[in-house]
Structure 1
Amino acid sequence: MDKQITSEFSAAKAEKAFGPKELLIIILGLVVIGVTMSLGFWQLGRAHQKEALNQQMDQREKAHPLQVGQAGIDLGSDVWRRARATGEFASQWTIYLQNRQQDEQTGFWVLTPLKLAGSDRYVMVLRGWIPRNFQAMNLLAPYQTPQGLTTIDGLIAPPPSEWFSFFPEPPGQVIRQNVNLSKYAAFHHIELLPYVLRQSGDLKDGLGRQWPAANTGIGTNYGYAAQWFGMSATGVVLLLYFLYRRLRKARTLGEAPDQAMPRAS
């Protein structure tokens, strides 16, 4: 009789070790582990996609150059593809994008539209970089612009990213923070291609062309993946510790009555 009472008492205590509250904690822990692990694998997938994009960009850069104005160039499929354009610079429409850096120095990006040979269309050429004069911003460093028909080698690039600005800039402003190609073309009444030809090569013309490599953020994705997997591993450890403590407590409660209650002789 005493043994039966002890057994029932132990079972009741063991059941209390995993009551509704404990079960809810276990379920929430599993959800957190599953979500953080899924996010970690998602970040890994993004990193792998960007690695494939980098390889594709390398292949495009090494491919045979396209001819701007003669080849059907699409920014989505041909971005960072090597290209060549022949025409004349419209130097009177040159603009300077400020606060652009090269070798940790602040300066300007020089952009000049090139009128394509045998065509009324233009392509915006990101020609290079010049340093800023901090005593007089309007005093620009000297550089050379080819006269007459010239051939430009470079890469097909997206338009310069637009930075935040508190004040709108007039379409005809020469030194500016941003440029919108469609608005620029409308202001000058020209047909401008929807991409930029980023000029390459050291031409001894006073312009720097140490362009930064395209940053696809692979390291950031791997960093986020490590953080999510770390959170997932922490969740697993905490959940296992919680289960261990509850099971140990249940076993302790189950053994205690056997020691306290007298045995029948």
Structure 2
Amino acid sequence: MYRFLLTPRWWGINIFVLLAVPVCVFMGSWQLSRFEDRVQDHRSASEQSDANKKAAVEPLASLLPVDRETSGRRATATGRYDKQLLVPDRDLDERTGFYVVTLLKVDGTGKALPVVRGWLPGKASAAKAPAPPKGEVTVVGALQASESAGSNGVTTAGGLPPGQVGMVSAASLVNLVPYDVYDAWVTLDKADGAMEPVPADMSQGGGLDLKAFQNLGYTGEWFVFAGFVLFMWFRLVRREAEALRDAELGLTDEAAEDAAAEAPVKTV
């Protein structure tokens, strides 16, 4: 009855199924592994963050350039505050506000280090941001790599008014000052004035991001696709087998209608 599976038409269908199912399973497994990798990265980042908080403070120069090991480490630098900028639309504890970033001209380097002095709620306003301390200061905070567009939901926020930037990034800041800017920044352990400190893991986009759960969703989709392909194959095989059986019995559509019309009506 199932000899039709060896016909050229069915060979094409069978080959498609034999290729489609493993591909779907492979893609689903790959997406699952991506989700597991992101979970592991999040776990490792949390452990690293805890270790960084307990680690001794180190000079800025010894931690550059920023990489996976030095990101989040507590660094110290000495210099004088210069230009102050605001970074709008930053969330903290489910509230929207803005970062207050001041460039610290590090002694003996001719370069400036962006320092996130704290966070304030509400719409970004220079009037709300406290002025930086005057004279020589020594800052201590968690070291971060420059932000990039798209990372952790960061956008360039184009069309901002003067005194505001969309990212804490050397590429963005170097166009606003007449000196070089470190390709890194720090968020102070203790915020200045009435501002709230920005946790290191928050500035890094702490927690599992949307991409991780997209990977998990894609995992389910690929396995559903594999099941759907098998379901449709079995359905087609069953319909073909039933059609051949009816044909062998002479029960084509017209024959079946004639048989039904000629069948005697049973009376109770």
TM-score calculated relative to the size of structure 2: 0.71
Match of 2:206 among 207, 213, 223: 213
Alignment coverage as a number of residue pairs = 237
Output the CA distance in 2 between the equivalents of 1:122 and 1:68: 15
Can you give the 5+ residue segments of structure 1 that lack an aligned partner in the other structure? Answer: 1-12, 258-265
Is 1:84 the equivalent of 2:75?
yes
TM-superposed CA distance for 1:165, in Å, is 5.0
Whether the aligned pair in 2 keeps the contact of 1:69 and 1:116 (CA below 8 Å) is no
Alignment-derived partner of residue 222 in structure 2: 228
Alignment-derived partner of residue 159 in structure 1: 147
The alignment-based identity, stated in percent, is 17
Whether the aligned pair in 2 keeps the contact of 1:79 and 1:158 (CA below 8 Å) is no
AA partner of residue 170 (structure 2): L
* Mapping 1:29-44, distance limit 5 Å: 29-44=17-32
3-state SS of paired residue (1:56): helix
Whether the aligned pair in 2 keeps the contact of 1:40 and 1:224 (CA below 8 Å) is yes
Can you give the 5+ residue segments of structure 2 that lack an aligned partner in the other structure? Answer: 251-268
Is 1:54 the equivalent of 2:45?
no
TM-superposed CA distance for 1:142, in Å, is 4.3
Output the CA distance in 2 between the equivalents of 1:21 and 1:66: 72
Alignment-derived partner of residue 246 in structure 1: 240
Alignment-derived partner of residue 258 in structure 2: none
Output the CA distance in 1 between the equivalents of 2:114 and 2:128: 21
TM-superposed CA distance for 1:189, in Å, is 2.6
TM-superposed CA distance for 1:71, in Å, is 0.8
Is 1:132 the equivalent of 2:122?
yes
RCO higher in structure (CA 8 A, sep ≥6): 1
AA partner of residue 140 (structure 2): I
Aligned pair in 2 of structure 1 residues 23, 140: CA closer, same or farther (>3 Å)?
farther
TM-score calculated relative to the size of structure 1: 0.71
Is 1:192 the equivalent of 2:181?
yes
TM-superposed CA distance for 1:132, in Å, is 2.9
3-state SS of paired residue (1:176): coil
Aligned pair in 2 of structure 1 residues 119, 69: CA closer, same or farther (>3 Å)?
farther
3-state SS of paired residue (1:149): strand
TM-superposed CA distance for 1:94, in Å, is 1.0
Aligned pair in 2 of structure 1 residues 30, 105: CA closer, same or farther (>3 Å)?
same
Alignment-derived partner of residue 99 in structure 1: 89
Whether the aligned pair in 1 keeps the contact of 2:169 and 2:183 (CA below 8 Å) is no
Alignment-derived partner of residue 28 in structure 1: 16
TM-superposed CA distance for 1:190, in Å, is 2.2
Alignment-derived partner of residue 7 in structure 1: none
Output the CA distance in 1 between the equivalents of 2:144 and 2:56: 10
TM-superposed CA distance for 1:108, in Å, is 1.7
Alignment-derived partner of residue 170 in structure 2: 181
Aligned pair in 2 of structure 1 residues 44, 193: CA closer, same or farther (>3 Å)?
same
